[in-house]
Homo-oligomer: A and B are copies of this chain.
Amino acid sequence: MARGPTPSPVVIGLSAVVVAVRDGEAMVLTVRSRGDGEPASEPAGLPFGPFDPDGHRTFELALRAFVTAQTRFDLGYVEQLYTFGDRGRDAPLADMGAGADSAPGARPSRVISVGYLALTPQAVETAAPDTAWAPWTRFFPWEDWRQGRPAAALLIEDALRQWADRAPPAQRELRLARARLAFALDGAPWNEERVLERYELLYGAGLAPEAARDRGEATGERSDALRAALGAPMISDHRRILATALSRLRGKIKYRPVVFELMPEAFTLLALQRAVEAIAGASLHKQNFRRALERGGLVEGLGRIDADTGGRPAELFRFRREILSARPVSGLSLPLLRD
Binding site for B on A (CB under 8 A): 1, 3-4, 7-12, 50-54, 57-59, 80, 82-83, 85-88, 96-98, 100-101, 109-110, 112, 114, 174, 177-178, 181, 188-189, 191, 325-328
Q: Which residues of B contact A188 (CB under 8 A)?
A: 327-328
> Which one of B8, B52, B86, B178 contacts A325 once the chains associate, using CB atoms below 8 Å?
B178
Q: Which residue of B lies closest to A53 (CB)?
A: B110
CA distance A326 to B80 in the complex (A): 32
CA distance A101 to B83 in the complex (A): 28
CB of B1 within 8 A of CB of A100, answer yes
CA distance A241 to B174 in the complex (A): 35
CA distance A7 to B99 in the complex (A): 13
Q: Which residues of B contact A100 (CB under 8 A)?
A: 1
CA distance A86 to B54 in the complex (A): 12
Given A53-B110, A59-B83, A181-B328, CB of A10 within 8 Å of CB of B8: no
Q: Which residues of B contact A88 (CB under 8 A)?
A: 57
Q: Which residues of B contact A326 (CB under 8 A)?
A: 177
CA distance A51 to B11 in the complex (A): 13
A–B Cβ pairs within 8 angstroms, 13 of them: A1-B98, A4-B54, A7-B53, A7-B98, A9-B53, A10-B51, A53-B110, A57-B88, A59-B83, A80-B83, A83-B114, A112-B112, A177-B325
Q: Which residues of B contact A51 (CB under 8 A)?
A: 10, 85
Q: How far is the CB of A320 from chain B (nearest CB, A)?
A: 15
Pick the most buried of A1, A11, A100: most chain B CB atoms within 10 A of its CB.
Answer: A1
CB of B189 within 8 A of CB of A328, answer yes
Q: Which residues of B contact A58 (CB under 8 A)?
A: 85-87
CA distance A52 to B191 in the complex (A): 37
Q: Which residues of B contact A101 (CB under 8 A)?
A: 3
Q: Which residue of B lies closest to A88 (CB)?
A: B57
CB of B53 within 8 A of CB of A8, answer yes
Q: How far is the CB of A253 from chain B (nearest CB, A)?
A: 14
Q: Which residue of B lies closest to A5 (CB)?
A: B54
CA distance A174 to B50 in the complex (A): 36
CA distance A287 to B264 in the complex (A): 47
CA distance A189 to B328 in the complex (A): 8
CA distance A114 to B113 in the complex (A): 12
CB of B10 within 8 A of CB of A53, answer yes
CB of A191 within 8 A of CB of B328, answer yes
Given A97-B1, A188-B327, CB of A57 within 8 Å of CB of B80: no
CB of A7 within 8 A of CB of B52, answer yes
CB of B97 within 8 A of CB of A85, answer no
